[in-house]
Amino acid sequence: MSSYEAHFKVWRGDVSGGGLEDFKIEVNDGEVVLDIIHRLQATQAPDLAVRWNCKAGKCGSCSAEINGRPRLMCMTRMSIFGREETITVTPLRAFPVVRDLVTDVSFNYTKAREVPSFVPPADLGPGEYRMMQEDVDRSQEFRKCIECFLCQDTCHVVRDHEENKTAFAGPRFLMRVAELDMHPLDAAAETGLDRKTTAQDEHGLGYCNITKCCTEVCPEGIKITDNALIPLKERAVDRKYDPLVWLGSKIRRR
C-alpha cells in the first residue's frame, strides 16, 4: 500500500464567520475525502464538525463542496486528484452554516412539506391496476433520490439568490411534483389539486431555465432535467394553453 501527504484546505467557522485552514495529512490507497476528514478529526482537529452516516453513498449526509464542486465526501475518491493538488473542502454554499462543514438544510424540509402527497384512487382495490413498465421505470428513477441536496445547492436560482428561496422549491422537489403529476394513479385532480398549475404558481417551475447543473451533480445519476423538469414544463404549458381548459374557465365565470 502506498501513501503520501496531501495538502487540504478545510473551511472552519460558524454563523459569525470563518475561513480556510491548512492541513498536511496522510492519504492511503483507496481512500475517499471523508476518510481524510475523519483522519483530520482523529489527529489534528478533534472539534472539526462534519455530518455523515453511512459512508456508502446512500444516506446523503456528507454533502460538501470539494474544489468548488458539490459532491458526497464518501463517494469522492482521492485518486481523482493529483498528489500535488491542494484539495479544498467547504460547506454547501446555498445553505446557512451551522459549524465547519455542517449546514442547516431545513429549507429542503420546508419545501418537501409544501408538496401535497400522492392521492390514491378512492375506488381501486389492491391488484386491480397493472402499471406500464415505463411508469414503473420513471418512478423508480426518481425514487433513487437520497436527498443529499447537492442539486439544491448547485442550482443557480437559489445558490446566489437567497431572495428566491420562498418562491422556488428547487430541482429535488420539482422532480417530486413531476413524479406525482406523471403517476398514472395519482388522483389529486379529483380533489381539486392541479399539480401542473401549482408547479408554476407555488413551486416556482418558471425559475428553472434547464441549465442541467442539477443533473451534473446528482450522485444517483438521475436525469433530473431531461426526465422530470422538462416534461413538467411541457405539461404545465399544455395545461395553461389547452383550449378546452380555457373554454371551461370562460363558461364557469359566467
Site residues (CB under 6 A) for ligand SF4? 145-151, 172, 217-220, 222, 224
Q: Using the minimum distance from each CB to ligand SF4, give the nearer residue, 39 or 71.
A: 71
Report, in Å, the least distance between residue 108 CB and ligand SF4: 8
In the chain, the DSSP E strands lie at 3-14, 17-28, 63-66, 69-72, 86-90, 97-99, 102-103
List Cα–Cα distances, 210 to 141, 205, 230, in angstroms.
Answer: 19, 10, 7
Return d(Cα 49, Cα 102) in angstroms, integer. 6
> Are the beta carbons of 66 and 76 closer than 8 angstroms?
yes
Report, in Å, the least distance between residue 234 CB and ligand SF4: 20
Report, in Å, the least distance between residue 70 CB and ligand SF4: 8
Report, in Å, the least distance between residue 166 CB and ligand SF4: 20
C-alpha angle 39/42/43, rounded to 5°?
85
Q: Cell numbers at residue 102, please?
A: 455542517
HSE, CB side, 13 Å, CA atoms: give it for residue 136: 5
Q: Using the minimum distance from each CB to ligand SF4, give the nearer residue, 170 or 233.
A: 170
Q: Using the minimum distance from each CB to ligand SF4, give the nearer residue, 6 or 150.
A: 150
Q: Using the minimum distance from each CB to ligand SF4, give the nearer residue, 40 or 70.
A: 70
Report, in Å, the least distance between residue 176 CB and ligand SF4: 9
Return d(Cα 21, Cα 113) in angstroms, integer. 37
Report, in Å, the least distance between residue 43 CB and ligand SF4: 31
Q: Using the minimum distance from each CB to ligand SF4, give the nearer residue, 151 or 199.
A: 151
Q: Using the minimum distance from each CB to ligand SF4, give the nearer residue, 36 or 218.
A: 218
Question: In the chain, count of helices (H) and strands (E)?
Answer: 10, 7
